[in-house]
Amino acid sequence: MPPVDATRPAPNDVQGHPPIQCEDCESALHSRDDSVSFLLLDQLTIPIIGCGNHVDQFVSICELTTTGRVDVIEHRPAGGIRCPSCQLAHYNLHQPVIPIQTGAVALMACSQHQTEVLNRFQSGLETQQQLTSSIDTSL
């Protein structure tokens, strides 16, 4: 008799993105507006969704690409979001999320600024990998 694992959720429970191992990120992405933080990256203010842990990791990787300040705040900044297109952006479950280690974060921004932040993140990842590999080869 094949074993039946009734504790696992049905695979079609997942909408729009692959399963995220981090439960906190997963629930943040599902509760959306309740768990928005604001990413301050140079001149940009971008609402970001994810658990505190993985948002912090995302931020520390973006920090590698700038000499300016990168910060995350829990509340809407006093100046609000400057980009009018970003103000209109809403997160939906079909939007791509950015995988980061065992979790994932989503950016609630217009496509231009999403791409901009994503590029930062990716070059930050490369910098991080270079740092790691240069340590490896120096051994």
Where on the chain is the footprint of Zn ion (CB under 5 A)? 22, 24-25, 51, 54, 83, 85-86, 103, 110, 113
Q: How far apart are CA 51 and CA 47, in angstroms?
A: 13
Q: Say whether 53 sits in a helix, a strand or coil.
A: helix
Which residues does 65 contact at the CB level (< 8 Å), separation at least 6?
120, 123, 124, 127
Cβ atoms of 64 and 124 closer than 8 Å: yes
Q: Cβ of residue 132: shortest distance to Zn ion, in angstroms? A: 22
Tokens of 56: 């912090």
Q: Cβ of residue 8: shortest distance to Zn ion, in angstroms? A: 20
Q: Cβ of residue 98: shortest distance to Zn ion, in angstroms? A: 12
Q: Cβ of residue 121: shortest distance to Zn ion, in angstroms? A: 15
**What is the CA 46 to chain-centroid distance, rounded?**
11
Q: Say whether 111 sits in a helix, a strand or coil.
A: helix
**What is the CA 34 to chain-centroid distance, rounded?**
15
CB-nearer residue toward Zn ion: 19 or 130: 19
CB-nearer residue toward Zn ion: 39 or 86: 86
